[in-house]
Structure 1
Amino acid sequence: MRFLLLFSRQGKLRLQKWFTPIPEREKKKITRDMTSMVLARKPRSCNFLHWKDLKIVYKR
């Protein structure tokens, strides 16, 4: 596990926990990408995403 992000359906970041050292700029980019990807998916979609070399698991 590299990071844990918790955000609202409006896209507001509520909690972030990073388990590997990542530069602040990268963190902001990852957060922005994750929120846009997850929120754009349909409610009945699978809860697994492939992004870059990572497997993303999310829950609505």
Structure 2
Amino acid sequence: MRFMLLFSRQGKLRLQKWYTATAERDKKKMVRELMQIVLARKPKMCSFLEWRDLKIVYKRCVDRLI
């Protein structure tokens, strides 16, 4: 695992943990690209995707108020 990101459906980054040394500029670019890709996917789509040379696994959480 190289990194873990947690962001809202509005695109706000909530948490980021990097396990490899990466330049800040590259981190920001990667976060921006991944947010755009993941948030654009439909809810019924598979939670696995290949991006660059990485395999990305994400979980779409739905908060519902009762």
Pick the TM interval, shorter chain: over 0.9
State the TM-score, normalized to the length of structure 2.
Answer: 0.90
How many residues get paired?
60
Report sequence identity in percent: 70
**Structure 1 gaps, min length 5:** none
Take 2:2 and 2:17, find their aligned partners in 1: how far apart are those partners? 9
Residue pairs, 1:12-51, within 5 angstroms: 12-51=12-51
- Ranges of 4+ aligned residues in structure 1 off by more than 4 Å: none
**Structure 2 gaps, min length 5:** 61-66
- Aligned residues: CA RMSD: 0.3
State the TM-score, normalized to the length of structure 1.
Answer: 0.99
